[in-house]
Every structure is written in C-alpha cells, then in structure tokens.
Amino acid sequence: MSEIRVGLIGYGTAGAYFHAPLIHATPGLRLAAVVTRDPARQAEVAARYGAAGVADVRELWGRSDLVVVASPNRTHVSMAAAAIAEGLPVVVDKPVARTAEEARELVRLAEAAGVMLTVFQNRRWDGDFRTVRRLIAEGRLGDVLRYESRFERWRPVPKGGWRETGGAEEIGGLLYDLGSHLIDQALQLFGPAHEVYCESDVRRAGVASDDDTFVALRHAGGVRSHLWAGSLAAQSGPRLRVLGSAGAFVKYGMDVQEERLRAGLTPDSPGFGEDEESRWGLLGADGDARPVPTEPGAYLDFYREVERALREGAPPPVEPRGAIDTLAVIEAAHLSATQRMVVHLG
C-alpha cells in the first residue's frame, strides 16, 4: 500500500481533537472518511483533511484499510466488531468495552479474522509518565513503595453530554474515562493488581455518573498505587508523586499535548510535546530535590506504531490484552465502591 486509508467513526472530542490530527500528521496514513451525521462537521473534515464526511458506518468499509472507533463508549464493541467482520484492522478508543469479557470477545474475533486490534491508551505517551518510567528503569528512586497519580479538574458546572448525564448503559463517569488511563499507567509500571479498593461518588447536581473517584491498588510486587480522578478539585494535587527507598519524584501539571491539540497545534510541529522548564518535576528528598527535565510527550508515536504494525507486521502499540486487565480492575473498583470492600483479584 502506498498509503493506508483510515476511516474514523465519530468526530466528537476524541475524534476531532485527538485521532483526526494525529492520523493526518502520520506519514503513510491518510484520513479518508469520517462518520458523522452533522453537516457542519462533514464540511470541516473535508476542508481540513480532504476526507469524505459520511452519515452511515456502512459507507466506511469500502473507503478504509484501517478503522478507528472514536464514537460514544456504548458503541465501541459493536462498531469494532462490525469492522472486524469486514476484515479490517481496528483502533478502539478507551475504554475498549464495558467489561473484561466483552474485551476478550473482541480479541477472539480479531484473532479469528487475522486482523490487528489495538486500543488508544494514548497517555502511555504522556511526558510525565515517560519520565517516571525512565526514572524507575534507571533505579533513581530505588525500590518504589507508593505511587500517586491524579487527573483532577475544577469543573463545578457540568458540561452535559453522555459522559456526565448518561447512566451505566452509556459507560460514562470518570472511572471509565480518566480511570482507564490512571489504572493502565499503574499496571504498566508495576504489573498486575491483586487488591482493589475504590471510593466513588456523584458530587454535582444533574450528573448521573461518578465525578469524584479514588482507587487504591496493591500490585503483585508490593507497590501500592493511589489514583484520583475528580471534577471538583479547586486546587489540584501533584499530577504524580512517587515515593521510593532512594528518594521521591513529584510533578505538578498535566501533560501539554491535549491542551495544544485543542488549541489547533499540529502534533508534528517542533516542540509540540515538550514541557516548560517551570513545570519539570523534582527528584530527591526534602532539602535536596532537583528538577528533572520532562521527557517529550509523543502521542504521534501511537499512530506511527500502528502504521508499522500494518505495513511491516510489527506489534501493535497497545496489546489489547492489557486493556482487558484494566477493565478487570475497573469492574473490581465498581464492586468495591458499591459493596464498600476490598476486592481480591487472582
């Protein structure tokens, strides 16, 4: 293939601000068609990317060599399964499914069809996460004892939309949304979780799904992860705080890539993923902590690796079985919050 034609299902926040610009900036990929019923969005994808705006997913199959599912969460499984049935490789936005069993079935379908299936866990390419992973690998923290990670916002007035107002059938709420990233990152760093504890609340009027959630994990190796996702954090805690036997690493502020994508910057522009020096984290102990340059964020690497997987047979950027593990923890967290108990995983 001289180019890989990409069909994108959905042009809301995920499609418009993440997938479309990343696909467009990846050599070897071409955004060929976008499924959206909104005439204004159809005109936008045509003007910005030269892509066809189509109203029905069935119009996508003959135009695509790769399908990206960025539609509402409740449609992820059905849309991905339909693409797989057409013999097309698939990228699915997180969460890939509502349950671990639904995700396992998608994996079985993809394996039987002989097509690639991967999940858009883009925050594995956040600069702060890449920095922590490097520091751990280099042994600069010693033995990690406790890992704290936060995605907190100050959003006292709900924005509306299915993520906040939909019930369980919409697979909304922060545990599935930001929690999918927080849990995935923790499992990537420290391996399987054997114990899960969760506190989950709905704090704002008019919201149907959790908007204030805390998850505690005990990993197989003994590390404890404490993870927060909230919409009522008027003053944010540290984005990351990692305590080790040889020192600690503390960093404030979110990865810069989402902000820059929303501002219309292209992901292949110089310095796109680079953090400002004032936002670097501190490594060491009180009285002797020094700034550590943040690794550049690299969301574009996800689609570069997708292109290599399709063209060269390289592994996909995210092994979908890892997404199954994340969903198993999310299910355990829901059970923990409902029953007010610690859930043990095998």
For residues 84 and 178, membership in a common domain is answered with no
As to burial, measured by CB atoms within 10 angstroms (0-12 exposed, 13-18 middle, 19+ buried), residue 139 is: exposed
Flag whether 315 is in a domain.
no
**Per-residue pLDDT reduced to its tens digit, 159-186:** 888 888 877 789 999 999 999 999 999 9
On whether residue 178 sits in a domain, the answer given is yes
Model pLDDT for residues 294-303, shown as the tens digit of each residue: 999 999 999 9
Peptide bond into 95 cis (omega under 30): yes
**CA separation for the pair 210, 177 (Å, rounded):** 10
Task: Round the average pLDDT of the chain to a whole number and report it.
Answer: 96
Q: Does residue 313 lie within any of the structural domains?
A: no
Residue 323: what pLDDT? 94
Please check whether residue 229 lies inside any domain of the structure: yes
- Please, which residues bridge with residue 241 across strands? 148, 250
What CATH number corresponds to the domain at position 198? 3.30.360.10
CA 49 to chain centre: 24
The rounded distance, in Å, linking the Cα atoms of 81 and 66 is: 13
- 84 pLDDT band, cuts 50/70/90, is very high
Residue that terminates a domain, selected from 120, 145, 160: 120
Q: What pLDDT score was predicted for residue 168?
A: 76
H/E run at residue 325: helix 320-339
Domain final residue pick, 89, 120, 151: 120
How far apart CA 289 and CA 251 sit, in angstroms, is 12
Domain match, 211 and 111 both:
no
Claim to verify: residue 163 and residue 284 sit in the same structural domain: yes
Range scoring the smallest mean pLDDT among 15-29, 97-111, 161-175, 193-207: 161-175
Domain match, 15 and 131 both: no
Note the pLDDT of residue 346.
Answer: 80
* Residues 179 and 109 both lie in one domain: no
> What is the percent of the chain where pLDDT is above 90?
96
State the average pLDDT over residues 258-286.
96
The residue with tokens 């990233």 is: 181
Is residue 6's pLDDT more than 90? yes
State residue 7's pLDDT score.
Answer: 98
**pLDDT given for residue 167 in this prediction:** 74
* Same domain for 65 and 156: no
Give the number of C-alpha atoms closer than 13 A to the C-alpha of residue 125, restricted to the C-beta side.
21
- Whether 318 is covered by a domain: the verdict is no
Report how many domains make up the chain: 2
156/254 same-domain check: yes
Amino acid at 218: R
DSSP line for 138-205: TTTT-SEEEEEEEEE-B--S---SHHHH--GGGT-STTTTHHHHHHHHHHHHH--EEEEEEEEE--ST
Show the domain range for 139.
123-298+328-344
Tell which residue, 219, 243, 244, 241, has the closest CA to residue 142.
Answer: 244
Q: What does the DSSP 8-state code read for residue 206?
A: T
If asked whether residues 71 and 153 sit together in one domain, one would say no
Whole-angstrom distance, CA of residue 298 vs CA of residue 28: 18
User: Which pLDDT tens digit goes with each residue over 71-80?
Assistant: 999 999 999 9
The count of other CB atoms within 10 Å of the CB of residue 20 is 25
> Using one digit for the tens of pLDDT, what is the confidence trace for 126-159?
999 999 999 999 999 999 999 999 999 999 999 8
Beta strands in the chain (DSSP E): 4-9, 29-35, 52-54, 66-69, 90-93, 117-120, 144-152, 193-201, 212-219, 224-230, 240-244, 247-251, 281-285, 288-292, 343-344
Q: Give yes or no: residues 286 and 193 share one domain.
A: yes
Cα 15 from Cα 307, distance rounded (Å): 18
Residues 15, 134, single domain; the answer is no
173 and 198, same domain (yes or no): yes
**Given the DSSP bridges, would you call strands 281-285 and 288-292 parallel, antiparallel or unpaired?**
antiparallel
As a whole number of angstroms, the distance between CA 205 and CA 157 comes to 9
pLDDT for residue 1: 63
Last residue of a domain, one of 120, 155, 172: 120
Sign of the torsion formed by the C-alpha atoms of 117, 123, 129 and 131: positive
- Are 258 and 179 in the same domain? yes
* 260 located within any domain: yes
Q: Using H for helix, E for strand and C for coil, what is the string for 81-108?
A: HHHHHCCCCEEEECCCCCCHHHHHHHHH
Rounded distance between C-alpha atoms, residue 188 and residue 130, angstroms = 11
CATH of residue 43's domain is 3.40.50.720
- The whole-number pLDDT of residue 300 equals 98
Domain assignment of residue 304, yes or no: no
Question: Is residue 309 in some structural domain?
Answer: no
